[in-house]
Amino acid sequence: MSKISVVYEIDGNRNQLYPVWMLLNTSCFTSSSWEKTLYISVDAPFIRHTFDEIDNHTLALSVPTEAYVLNPSKPDKFGLSLPALRRYAEQICEKQGVRLKTSFIDRLILQIVDIEEIMQMNLQTKYHWD
């Protein structure tokens, strides 16, 4: 499984950390990985980062909402349709006149609000973040 971390910001009203982005390291993905749906548990322990700790020198792809999927037999997990995500990235690259090589993608960026929406849950109340 890929290394997962979560980026937190400080809520100015309550002065508490809250999750903003989930980062998924894709270094262990193979070309066949991009042909599957990847399921991620929201109960997994995550490595905590703040915005300042993110390596901004890696190629990252923000996950669009249409790449998220649910599987009724896996209620504690959400899925990422990697074929849909690859097509999305290919379209972006095509507009720029560049050919996509999925091996160049180092990280996927998932917005916590997108995960909450697809799973119909509030992750901020599910976990104690500070």
Domain borders along the chain are 4-125
Cβ count near 24 (within 10 Å): 20
39 strand-pairing partners: 79
Q: How far is CA 92 from CA 77, 95, 98, in A?
A: 28, 5, 9
Query: Cα angle vertex 9, ends 53, 58, to 5°?
Result: 35
| Cβ–Cβ under 8 Å, residues 107 and 61 | yes
Q: Convert the pLDDT of each residue in 1-46 to its tens digit.
A: 348 888 888 877 888 778 889 999 998 899 899 999 999 988 756 7
Q: Convert the pLDDT of each residue in 75-105 to its tens digit.
A: 889 999 999 999 999 999 999 999 988 888 9
